[in-house]
Amino acid sequence: MDTYRLERDIKVESGYDLVVAGAGPAGCAAAIAAGRLGAKVLLIEAMGCLGGLATAGIVSEFDPMANGEIMVVGGIMREIVEAMYERGFMPDCCEPQRWRKDHHRYTSFNAEGLKLLLDELVLGANVEIRFFTRVIDADLAGEGKVKGIIIQNVEGYRDIETKTFVDATRGAAPPGPRLPRLHAACRTPPACRPTPAVRVRGATAGRHPNQAFARQAMPGAIFSSSMAEKPTST
């Protein structure tokens, strides 16, 4: 295959203590935590909402969070699940015992509600967000050291200098010799694909049995028989 060498001068932005790439659950938590500690944080997301697979992917169940006696998950996750319950972003069958005590029980939630809550928490931590923006490369000051990251969006390319960088894109590519996680994040097409949650017009295999809210959000969707019959717990 022929190659074309792409070279250009791009603008450099600076002043961030932390740049987080990927605004899924992991990236949002990292950004919120750092923002609350007073860091100047930029959160970069390829898609147009916060939450990653949990919202855009409609993976709308929280995994089990307790061991039969106590809740073993805390911090921002606990704050989120409690707030989702308080605001009515869960089906009626989801009582707090489900995540605070029960062993191996999943908790369904409204993905649109999680988008709203994450917007609030991230902005409340004074985090700057750039949607529809992809990390595409790294500005390497030296071998394996990130001086800045290269992003691309409708405004073009930018080099964002940062003291600290978190890759929360869940690239999942095999480690490379120089900058394994970031290079994983830069794959095209995107490493993250929305998870098929329902069978839409018979085209896509169902994935999750507990999609009470997916039903409301997609009234035209055809659910597989197992999804149609199962209760909202596993």
Ligand X SMILES: Cc1cc2nc3c(=O)[nH]c(=O)nc-3n(C[C@H](O)[C@H](O)[C@H](O)COP(=O)(O)OP(=O)(O)OC[C@H]3O[C@@H](n4cnc5c(N)ncnc54)[C@H](O)[C@@H]3O)c2cc1C
Binding site for ligand X (CB under 6 A): 21-27, 44-47, 52-54, 59, 61-63, 134-135, 168-170, 185-186, 190-192, 195, 207
Give min distance, CB of 229 to ligand X, in A: 18
Strand partners, 51: none
175: left (phi over 0), alpha (psi -120 to 50) or beta: beta
- The nearest distance, CB 10 to ligand X, in angstroms, is 16
At a CB cut-off of 8 Å and minimum separation 6, what does 128 contact?
Answer: 40, 41, 42, 43
> What is the C-alpha to C-alpha distance for residues 2 and 73, in angstroms, rounded to an integer?
51
Lookup result for tokens 């062993």: 103
2 versus 158: smaller Cβ distance to ligand X: 158
**CB burial class (10 A; 0-12, 13-18, 19+) of residue 103?**
exposed
Could you give the C-alpha distances from 129 to 28, 119, 124, 212, in angstroms and in order?
A: 10, 9, 12, 30
The nearest distance, CB 131 to ligand X, in angstroms, is: 10
Q: Which is nearer to ligand X, 54 or 90 (CB)?
A: 54
The residue among 2 and 191 lying less far from ligand X, judged by its C-beta, is: 191
In the complex with ligand X, the residue whose CB is nearer, 61 or 159, is 61
State which residue, 2 or 226, has the beta carbon closest to ligand X. Answer: 226
d(CA 131, CA 113): 18
CB of 2 to ligand X, least distance (A): 25
Enter the tokens of residue 84. 């989702």
Q: How far is the CB of 205 from ligand X (least distance, A)?
A: 11
Tell me the residue number closest to ligand X, measured at CB. 24
In terms of DSSP bridges, do strands 128-130 and 11-21 run parallel, antiparallel, or are they unpaired? unpaired
Contact 77, 99 (CB under 8 A): no
* Residue 95 Cβ vs ligand X, minimum distance, rounded to whole Å: 18
For ligand X, the closer of residues 2 and 41 by Cβ is: 41
